């Protein structure tokens, strides 16, 4: 028996963009919006009569992580901000916005959320013996966490249980323990009541319940030099340090340093880090061997100064759960031994951050079945005729499929959730043809780590098939966002 999905009421929300590896996926969106502004009947890439098969057209799709991120300090971010925010600010290394007074408000759209992981990078207004700043998170009038803040820029994550966030637009209140006026503590002319500065905040709408193993390929990160990183560092590390521009880092004080990261389902991934070797006159070039779970995977020669290094690693390098990463350097030398300072520690290199980001894309498997991994958004740009219906056939019934439809003219979004084969009425018979973004998202079930679909077609009563839009985004592998370089 076939089932129709239950739809939520359409919710008008502002446009939003996600970031991959620190770069906003905005270029193709702007170009496409300009095309839509001229006409809703943009030239399709291909036309046909009869059903449109989305599995056959997978090469037309873009791929991105299934999360929403707000990049504070950018013009696009202001549409999400309610009360309690200063004007956009910036430094040589990041954009940010100060939270003012006792609380600040964020408005965020989510589609069919479950447990929601909220991750943000922030630093409190500091110095002048001001301590004890906290952020209490309240979503839709439901409190789900209070986080003590470390000095300097740090990353924090708290998981809101299912039911805290709802489908559509949500309100997140960030409540602070205190605020302070800079001019009361120094010769500054700044009379704003400053609480906490925010760099960015992201929302994962399908997070793992705390205490349970994660069955998805998921990113992991370490922000060295912060309190949160201390539990991950095992041996060979110095203490927490901060540079003159707010960079938090830690020195490797032996030839080998180890850290431990908890990962989900093993998958091909990129491992990236930002490092600066200890360099001195006439000293040798520093080398770094990357060893994951006992297997050497990459070797780099480090350049002087802060630089980023990236390696692509196979799924076989990782295991589900706890993983050990060892960094083995060519040498470690104390500044006092080479006449560059009084520090007697043996230093190899300073580390700013490290990330492990899954490379996961939808694939077509045997019998033309579409495999969707959890945590990935697969999106098509379509010219959608009146009376369009999406037909879905699932090979298994252990995961759910979230379908999101965004009207590219007005930004309005509707979403549906299917937990078994069925159909979704995407447009009414009297609705004119329009340009839309259709997104497919696999959400977790009781035992599933992915979703397998054997049919994914769009049909109309009169046989007028939808079509892919000619101007389409470039397909990218899914990579979680890198920490902003301080």
On whether residue 411 sits in a domain, the answer given is yes
pLDDT at 447: 54
User: 19: number of CA atoms within 13 Å, CB side?
Assistant: 19
351 and 275 in one domain?
yes
Whether 287 is in a domain gets the answer yes
pLDDT at 1: 37
Q: Is the dihedral of CA 223, 226, 231, 236 positive or negative?
A: positive
**Rounded (5°) CA angle 353-442-174:** 50
pLDDT at position 322: 87
pLDDT in tens, 11-45: 332 222 333 223 333 333 333 333 334 334 444 44
Contact in structure between 331 and 315 (CB atoms under 8 Å)? no
Q: Where are the beta strands (DSSP E) in 293-432?
A: 295-301, 307-313, 321-329, 349-358, 363-365, 369-373, 376-384, 389-394, 400-407, 412-418, 422-425
Nearest to 297 by CA among 262, 268, 264: 268
Round to whole Å and give the CA distance between 96 and 81: 13
Boundary of a domain, candidates 204, 239, 256: 204
pLDDT at 17: 30
On whether the CB atoms of residues 467 and 46 are closer than 8 A, the answer is yes
Whether residues 60 and 94 fall in one domain: no
At 368 the three-state DSSP class reads helix
Among candidate residues 131, 128, 108, the one with its CA nearest the CA of residue 118: 108
Whether residue 209 lies inside any domain: the answer is no
Q: Are 118 and 130 within one domain?
A: yes
* Of the candidates 42, 249, 13, the residue with the CA atom closest to the CA atom of residue 111: 13
pLDDT for the residue numbered 38: 39
Beta-bridged to residue 122, according to DSSP, are 154, 198
Residue 166: partners with Cβ closer than 8 Å, 6 or more residues away? 110, 113, 140
Task: Say yes or no: 250 and 352 in one domain.
Answer: yes
Q: Does 366 lie in the same domain as 249?
A: no
Confirm if 402 and 111 have CB atoms less than 8 A apart.
yes
Q: What does the pLDDT read at residue 374?
A: 82
Q: Which of these three, 204, 228, 255, is where a domain ends?
A: 204
CATH no. for residue 259?
2.60.120.260
Res 467: pLDDT: 92
Report yes or no on 225 lying in a domain. yes
pLDDT at 67: 86
| 72 & 186 share domain | yes
Largest CA distance in the chain: 82
Residues in a beta bridge with 77: none
Q: Coil, strand or helix: which one is 79?
A: helix
Q: Please give the tally of structural domains in the chain.
A: 3
Q: Which residues contact 478 (CB under 8 A, 6 or more apart)?
A: 20, 63, 64, 65, 357, 358, 359, 360, 361, 375, 376
Within the chain, which residues score under 70 in pLDDT? 1-49, 128, 211-215, 244-246, 397, 445-449, 470-486
Query: 377 is written with which tokens?
Result: 């958004």
Rounded-to-integer distance, Cα 65 and Cα 25, Å: 11
Distance (Å, whole) CA 387 – CA 350: 59
Q: In terms of domains, do 157 and 92 share one?
A: yes
Q: With contact defined as beta carbons under 8 Å apart, do 220 and 261 qualify? A: yes
b/e code 132-153 from CB counts within 10 Å (16+ = b): ebebebbbeeeebbebebbbbb
Segment holding 27, helix H or strand E: helix 27-38
| 210 in a structural domain | no
Assigned domain for 447 exists: yes
Whether 338 is in a domain gets the answer yes
| Model pLDDT, residue 19 | 31
Write out the E strands in 3-153: 3-4, 6-7, 11-12, 19-20, 23-24, 52-53, 62-65, 68-71, 85-90, 95-100, 103-110, 116-124, 134-139, 142-148
**Smallest Cα–Cα separation from 154: which of 174, 127, 135?**
135
The Cα 190–Cα 179 span in angstroms is 13
One domain for residues 450 and 425: yes
pLDDT tens digit sequence for 45-93: 444 567 999 999 999 999 888 889 999 999 999 999 999 999 999 877 7
| Same domain assignment for residues 157 and 81 | yes
Residues 42, 52: Cα–Cα separation, whole Å: 17
Pair (224, 352) in one structural domain: yes
Domain holding 275, by residue range, is 220-358
Show Cβ contacts of residue 148 under 8 Å, excluding neighbours closer than 6 positions.
Answer: 132, 133, 134
Asked whether the CA dihedral 451, 319, 484, 225 is positive or negative, the reply is positive
Phi/psi of residue 213, nearest 5 degrees: -70, 145
Helices vs strands, H then E, count in the chain: 1, 38
**Per-residue pLDDT at 31:** 35
Tell me whether residue 214 is in a domain: no
Q: How far apart are CA 369 and CA 359, in angstroms?
A: 20
Triad 383, 24, 482: Cα angle to 5°: 135
pLDDT at 357: 86
Domain boundary among 173, 204, 235: 204
Kindly state whether residues 230 and 354 are assigned to the same domain: yes
- Let me know whether 196 and 229 are in one domain: no
Q: How far apart are CA 171 and CA 108, in angstroms?
A: 7
Question: What SS3 state is found at 353?
Answer: strand
């Amino acid at each position: 028996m076939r089932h129709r999905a239950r739809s939520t009421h359409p919710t008008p929300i502002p446009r939003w963009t996600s970031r991959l590896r620190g770069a906003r996926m905005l270029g193709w969106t702007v170009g496409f919006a300009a095309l839509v502004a001229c006409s809703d009947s943009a030239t399709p890439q291909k036309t046909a009569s009869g059903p449109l098969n989305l599995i056959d057209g997978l090469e037309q799709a873009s791929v991105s992580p299934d999360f929403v991120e707000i990049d504070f300090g950018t013009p696009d971010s202001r549409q999400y901000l309610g009360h309690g925010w200063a004007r956009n600010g910036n430094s040589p290394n990041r954009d940010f916005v100060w939270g003012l007074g006792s609380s600040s408000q964020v408005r965020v759209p989510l589609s069919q959320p479950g447990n929601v992981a909220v991750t943000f990078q922030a630093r409190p207004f500091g110095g002048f013996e001001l301590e004890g700043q906290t952020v209490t998170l309240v979503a839709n009038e439901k409190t789900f966490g209070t986080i003590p803040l470390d000095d300097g820029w740090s990353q924090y994550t708290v998981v809101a249980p299912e039911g805290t966030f709802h489908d559509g637009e949500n309100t997140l209140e960030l409540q602070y323990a205190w605020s302070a006026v800079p001019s009361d503590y120094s010769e500054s002319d700044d009379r704003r009541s400053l609480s906490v500065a925010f760099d960015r905040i992201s929302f994962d709408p399908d997070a793992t319940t705390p205490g349970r193993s994660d069955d998805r390929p998921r990113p992991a990160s370490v922000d060295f030099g912060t309190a949160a990183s201390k539990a991950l560092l095992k041996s060979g590390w110095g203490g927490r340090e901060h540079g003159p521009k707010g960079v938090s880092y830690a020195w490797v004080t032996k030839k080998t340093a180890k850290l431990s990261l908890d990962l989900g389902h093993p998958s091909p991934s990129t491992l990236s880090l930002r490092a600066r070797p200890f360099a001195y006159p006439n000293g040798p070039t520093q080398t770094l061997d990357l060893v994951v779970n006992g297997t050497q995977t990459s070797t780099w020669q480090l350049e002087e100064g802060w630089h980023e290094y990236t390696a692509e690693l196979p799924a076989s390098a990782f295991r589900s759960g706890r993983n050990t990463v060892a960094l083995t350097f060519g040498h470690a030398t104390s500044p006092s031994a080479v006449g560059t300072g009084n520090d007697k520690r043996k230093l190899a290199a300073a580390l700013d951050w490290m990330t492990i980001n899954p490379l996961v894309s939808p694939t077509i498997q045997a019998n033309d079945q579409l495999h969707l991994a959890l945590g990935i958004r697969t999106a098509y740009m379509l010219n959608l005729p009146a009376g369009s219906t999406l037909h879905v056939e699932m090979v298994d019934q252990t995961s759910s499929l979230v379908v999101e439809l965004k009207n590219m003219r007005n930004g309005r979004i509707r979403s549906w959730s299917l937990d078994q084969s069925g159909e979704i009425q995407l447009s009414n018979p009297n609705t004119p043809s329009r340009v839309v973004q259709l997104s497919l998202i696999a959400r977790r079930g009781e035992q599933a780590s992915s979703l397998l679909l054997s049919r994914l077609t769009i049909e109309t009563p009169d046989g007028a098939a939808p079509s892919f839009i000619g101007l389409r985004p470039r397909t990218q592998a899914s990579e979680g966002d890198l920490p902003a370089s301080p």
